[in-house]
Amino acid sequence: MNLQVREVEAVSEQSLPLMGNEAIARGAWEAGVRVASAYPGTPSTEILESLAGYPASDLYADWSTNEKVALDVAIGAALSGVRAICTMKHVGLNVASDSLMSQSYIGAHGGLVLVVCDDPGIHSSQNEQDTRLFAKLAGVPVLEPSDAQEAYDFTKLAFEISEAFDTPVILRSTTRLSHTRSLVRVGTRKTPPSKGFVNAPTRTVTIPANARRLHPKVIEREAKLARYLEDSPLTRWEKGDTRFGIVTGATSYLYVKEVAPTASVLKLGTAYPLPEAAIAAFAASVDRLIVVEELEPVLEKDIRALGIPAEGKSLFPRVGELSPELVRAGLAKAGLMEAAPPTVSLDIEPMARPPVLCSGCPHTATFLALRGLDTRVAGDIGCYTLAAVEPLRSIDTTVCMGASIANATGMALSGSETKPIVATIGDSTFLHSGIPPLIDAVYHRANIAVVILDNGITAMTGGQHHPGTGRTLRGQPAPKVDYEKLCRAVGVDWIRTVDPYEVGRLYQALREAIAFKGVAVVIAQRPCVLDPIKIKGTPLAVNAANCVACQSCMNLGCPSITWSDDVHDGRHKVKIDSSTCIGCTVCAQVCPSDCIQPVQPVMP
């Protein structure tokens, strides 16, 4: 059957300055999405936040507890016959991949698009991944827009492809695309009628007997998609100089056009499945074929597998973001253009600015205490991961979301650790993937302490709500998780909730927790100082005359505390910036000379 998908019309009713993520959201809204789900994670966060800005009567949009749950919610909506979208960052797809692999067999029905934002260059992630490899593994098409306009267009087209070929579709963005901003021609919303629930258990229940029949259909679908891509709007041949031709896509296309505007270019809007005939015809028209792509040599390897000579990663790096400079250097290495002139070095050494927790961050005292108690700390993903570096330097491991508690359990079961073992995990991360490992720790009677760092928000990604905040994405009241009750329900007997600003009580609770035989839980509960509102109390100041330059307060790493010009016994005293201090008093509590006091208000 020769399936065709119509090209999304370029409706020029108005142009809006949109980020890539906002353009994706706009495209999804115009495509008639009825359900949108996600777990926040840079660089994908703004997509769902933007979707929540559209009327609630148009679509349901809210955060899920983790990426797999988010995808399962979207799958349920699609199986009920409406268009659904799910968004996440690249490492979130690791969490959601179990559902994706099965859904590839089942199909899409109402239309299902999964937006995954990769992070080349590791700006805010624990690794670099290339989602194109996941698309090939799952057997689902992956679309790769190169700018905000294409992000909008491709999102709408993704739903057309999803329904026409009955497949989930991945839309792959990157940090550079997600956070770029440009004018986007937009149209109006069109909502397809619901198709109703797909009542076909032999398709929607993936037991072995059904899955064996469905797998060949996935392979057949791949062939149909490849034929469609040959003449689709996703494949564009820009004719030029035939000395060499460049196969590229995504944001790499923009770098290529900037550096080699006269070159012949085959721009691919998808890396899977490949339009093989178009690639073969393009390769035959040029003397040399160059592949420019970020991260893995996905296109290069597949083109070579077709028997077509191609050059790629021998010229361009396999790690980090590409740039016009790197593309030019690669083409110069190939002898296809002159190298860029050498840059002039100004011999300026920038001032070191290591990342630190915010002034008054409630996590600071917790990690100061854990270091003071000489514990072995398994950390997790969140703002508090910054406690792994100076000056707090109290986290020993950080693997991925939700790994801390199970890592700590493994350390305890190894029998080789001599220090008290502590797992630290944020409130949103705990709900994301920390509950199963807590159950496992209790089941194995592991001698560990778990510190839930409850600042009442998903702080690292910009202050998003979660089931522990009592609010939805749209700010509506919602049921709120009680962490003490939850921990008791899974078998934890020793639980304490403390305010980390009360340093003495915090130390005592941690001492008791690490002395307890079994799983102990300390809930360090204090709101984030920035979200949802910025907290500002009475600032503190240092009485320089009494400061003995012990520098105990400097161990907090608080950005409001800096060196002063005063010196005592050869060591600099400290001062506090009253404009950024929020008055948490933690520094005053650790000061042995009682020289840190609240700033006295000036009387009128």
CATH (domain of 545): 3.30.70.20
Tokens 């329900």, residue?
Answer: 489
CA atoms within 13 A on the CB side of 344: 1
For CA atoms 474, 478, 483, 487, the dihedral sign is negative
pLDDT reported for residue 525: 97
Residues 370 and 422 in one domain: yes
Residue 210 lies inside a defined structural domain of this protein: yes
Please give the structure tokens belonging to residue 600. 């006295």
Residues 115 and 37 in one domain: yes
Alpha-carbon distance of 473 to 46, in angstroms, equals 12
Residues 213 and 72 in one domain: yes
Residues 371 and 485 in one domain: yes
Of 494, 525, 556, which residue sits at a domain end?
Answer: 525
Rounded to 10 degrees, the C-alpha dihedral 8/13/14/15 comes to 30
Residues 521 and 556 in one domain: no
Alpha-carbon distance of 555 to 189, in angstroms, equals 55
Alpha-carbon distance of 229 to 244, in angstroms, equals 23
Residues 372 and 386 in one domain: yes
Closest to 121 in 3D by CA, of 174, 171, 177: 174
Within the chain, which residues score under 70 in pLDDT? 1-13, 601-604
Residues 251 and 394 in one domain: no
User: What's the total number of domains in the chain?
Assistant: 4
| C-alpha pair distances (Å), 575 with each of 273, 341, 540, 550, 559 | 61, 47, 10, 13, 11
pLDDT reported for residue 256: 97
Alpha-carbon distance of 407 to 417, in angstroms, equals 12
The three-state (H, E, C) secondary structure of 287-319, written as one string:
CCEEEECCCCCHHHHHHHHCCCCCECCCCCCCC
Residues 51 and 71 in one domain: yes
How many Cβ atoms sit within 10 Å of the Cβ of residue 166?
A: 18
pLDDT reported for residue 355: 79
In 23-83, DSSP assigns E strands to 35-38, 60-63
Alpha helix positions (H), 80-207: 90-106, 131-138, 148-165, 175-178, 201-204
Residue 471 lies inside a defined structural domain of this protein: yes
Residues in the annotated binding site: 547, 550, 553, 558, 581, 584, 587, 591
Residues 90 and 29 in one domain: yes
Beta bridge partners of 575: 562
Residue 519 lies inside a defined structural domain of this protein: yes
Given a contact cutoff of 8 angstroms between Cβ atoms, the answer to whether 229 and 273 are in contact is yes
Residues in the annotated binding site for [4Fe-4S] cluster: 547, 550, 553, 558, 581, 584, 587, 591
pLDDT reported for residue 569: 81
Alpha helix positions (H), 307-421: 324-333, 363-372, 404-414
Contacts of 506 (CB under 8 A, 6+ apart): 365, 366, 369, 498, 499, 500, 524
Of 502, 525, 548, which residue sits at a domain end?
Answer: 525
CA atoms within 13 A on the CB side of 392: 29
Closest to 519 in 3D by CA, of 425, 405, 431: 405
Residues 467 and 552 in one domain: no
What CATH number corresponds to the domain at position 385? 3.40.50.970
pLDDT reported for residue 71: 97
For CA atoms 313, 315, 318, 322, the dihedral sign is negative
Residue 356 lies inside a defined structural domain of this protein: no
Residue 260 lies inside a defined structural domain of this protein: yes
Closest to 530 in 3D by CA, of 353, 367, 356, 358: 358
Please give the structure tokens belonging to residue 572. 């600099």
Tokens 């009485």, residue?
Answer: 543
| C-alpha pair distances (Å), 344 with each of 85, 330, 339, 349 | 48, 21, 15, 14
Rounded to two decimals, the pTM is 0.92
Residue 576 lies inside a defined structural domain of this protein: yes
Residues 224 and 201 in one domain: yes
Given a contact cutoff of 8 angstroms between Cβ atoms, the answer to whether 561 and 549 are in contact is no
Residue 534 lies inside a defined structural domain of this protein: no
The domain in which residue 585 lies consists of 540-598
pLDDT tens for residues 332-347? Answer: 999 998 888 887 777 7
Residues 555 and 498 in one domain: no
Given a contact cutoff of 8 angstroms between Cβ atoms, the answer to whether 453 and 366 are in contact is yes
Alpha-carbon distance of 266 to 102, in angstroms, equals 33
Of 499, 525, 551, which residue sits at a domain end?
Answer: 525
